[in-house]
Chain A
């Protein structure tokens, strides 16, 4: 299932939050959406949640605008993991995951053995089967995020949209969630806060600034030190991670002097793109 934003503009209280964003997420791709706070990432995603109706343009899932289909049909095509999940009541883990079956069930349908198998499989996929009968609220942040991922899986939608799934997680939990996303291999659009996650885990990266899409492409080509400086106002070095061998981005405050430039890292292979930033350049 592919996702396409077609010239999406969103006004909230007559202020333009998202401005003519066109972005295509091909089937099977994992695309990271990055940008400073307030750049319109979450707002853009909410147009695909079918929560915000775009002022202009449309979010298309499988070639159809989400507003031209029922909420239920949209939920059969895409699953969502939102940023803050505070449950208004104490559900068990199993109950939370079973909610993923909602768009697949009619009003009075009971949970069948088939549903239970899907829920168990989803819990297996995120390695949380052991917690099925536990209270969701008593789990750690990383465990909760994995359970929410299992709920999304139980929806059996081909497209996954996540809003900063690694927020508030400790380092290990962050990697667990990202590894899991990679491993699932679904068509994925995820807003990410950490540029290093975007560069090391995503097939493609889309960068937003002040409501506009400013760059899309392969992570190492897009997240150049120049662009990172222009958009995020920090200094950045792009090299290869000494442990994983994957691309790595290291950032530092723009206030810090040139002593933090890339050349200092002796272990970085010379072949990777790296940058010496002229301080005070750009915005």
Chain B
């Protein structure tokens, strides 16, 4: 019998690079990398502030002792760069974690807020407010418009996809893609009706950017990220179960449709808060979860923290590149999300992707 039951090792392989106790070490490394990226991003720019001074300013502010700081450094670090860098970190972390949730939600590796229509919907809302004017909409601001549109889009996707309260993966994808296309078409139409000075604002919503992010932009997405992450982290086992099919997940005691509804609401609300401050930043939510999975495997209790840290670091670096490479001009962050992300992904695929079984 032993010939039946054992099997030579050549064909099988470990599915990922980091496992077991090394995972903790990975988290520490990634956290250190994030701190380093934040430090570098605050330090570098048109005026370079030494890393020591960066931390001095930050720590002084934390301990409420801002007397005696160099006013110029204080302004650059605390008022201009740090909020933008932290917004980048929060947006990167949020998009990545949302991507993990959505990819499990529809059991599809291509899922991200774009695919489910939420980002295009939010962009349409923002562009509509820009074109029509806030006053015509009872003072609804651009961010309010984006948020409301994101929630409405989610509701539309849900209503189209559900059948007597049941949400299946294929219908969700189709509904999301359909609603997304409609939103993109409507956005194009609105764009044609606008004058050139409105166009710059519209481009921000379509391409996504962190330029001009201030402290006031940080609060809502940060709170949403914190709440969303806490909830998602408690759902690691359920997310795993979703990946093995609806019936099998039900077999493991997951109320699949109820869980999908909750997952859709949580990820959509998180997306709405992110789109409001960063516009339609693509790619991050799609790719970072894959990069995380290539490193730590498919287990969501490891994928979530890894994606969170990698995504935050990634977007901080992307934003740094977008404002320093062509100084003093800013380049769209979208150029760098793909320009940096794709080579990393290809390298990881190369390292781990031999003998793929499915």
**A residues within 8 Å of B by Cβ?**
46, 49-51, 70-76, 78-82, 84-92, 95-96, 99-100, 102-103, 105, 107-108, 127-128, 130-131, 133-139, 143, 152, 155, 161, 172, 176
Contacts and interface: CB of A to CB of B under 8 A. Distances in A.
Given A90-B298, A91-B299, A92-B297, A85 B245 contact: yes
Given A87-B244, A91-B243, A136-B357, 20 more contacts: A49-B250, A50-B250, A70-B255, A80-B248, A88-B107, A90-B297, A91-B298, A92-B16, A95-B298, A96-B244, A102-B241, A102-B254, A103-B253, A130-B7, A134-B13, A135-B15, A135-B357, A137-B15, A137-B356, A138-B13
Nearest to B237: A102
A89 B357 contact: no
Contacts of B109: 88-89
B195 interface: no
A15 to B, nearest CB: 15
Main secondary structure of the interface of B (DSSP, over half): loop
Given A95-B298, A134-B12, A138-B355, A88 B243 contact: yes
Residue among A75, A88, A128 with max Cβ neighbours from chain B (10 Å): A88
Contacts of A105: 237
Contacts of A81: 251
B235 interface: yes
B240 interface: yes
Contacts of B233: 108
Interface string B57-100: 00000000000000000000000000000000000000000000
Contact of B250 (A71, A130, A137): A71
B6 interface: yes
Interface string B1-32: 00011110001111110010000000000000
A117 to B, nearest CB: 16
A184 to B, nearest CB: 16
A139 B14 CA distance: 12
A172 B4 contact: yes
Contacts of A51: 246-247, 250, 256
Interface in B202-236: 233-235
B193 interface: no
The 3 A-B pairs with the shortest beta carbon distances in the complex, nearest first, are A75-B253, A80-B251, A137-B357
A91 B15 contact: yes
Contacts of B46: none
Contacts of A103: 252-253
Interface in B228-283: 233-235, 237-238, 240-248, 250-256
B311 to A, nearest CB: 18
B358 interface: yes
B245 A84 contact: yes
19 contacts: A51-B246, A75-B252, A75-B253, A80-B248, A82-B247, A82-B248, A84-B245, A87-B244, A90-B298, A90-B358, A91-B297, A91-B298, A92-B297, A95-B297, A96-B244, A102-B252, A134-B13, A137-B357, A155-B252
A89 to B, nearest CB: 4
Interface of B: 4-7, 11-16, 19, 103-104, 107-109, 233-235, 237-238, 240-248, 250-256, 293, 297-299, 355-358
Contacts of B108: 88
A102 to B, nearest CB: 4
B99 to A, nearest CB: 13
Nearest to B357: A137
Nearest to A176: B4
Contact of B234 (A49, A76, A107, A133): A107
Nearest to A135: B15
Nearest to A95: B299
A259 B235 CA distance: 62
Contacts of B252: 75, 99-100, 102-103, 155
A155 B237 CA distance: 13
Contacts of B7: 130-131, 143
A86 B250 contact: no
Nearest to A110: B301
Nearest to B356: A137
Contact of A138 (B16, B255, B299, B357): B357
A102 B253 contact: yes
Contacts of A46: 247
B276 to A, nearest CB: 30
Contacts of A155: 252
B246 A139 contact: no
B358 A82 contact: no
Contact of A135 (B14, B245, B250): B14
Nearest to B257: A51
Contacts of B248: 80, 82, 85
A130 B6 contact: yes
Nearest to B300: A89
A196 B253 CA distance: 33
B239 to A, nearest CB: 10
A89 B238 CA distance: 14
B13 A135 contact: yes
Contacts of A72: 253
A205 to B, nearest CB: 23
Contacts of A131: 7, 12
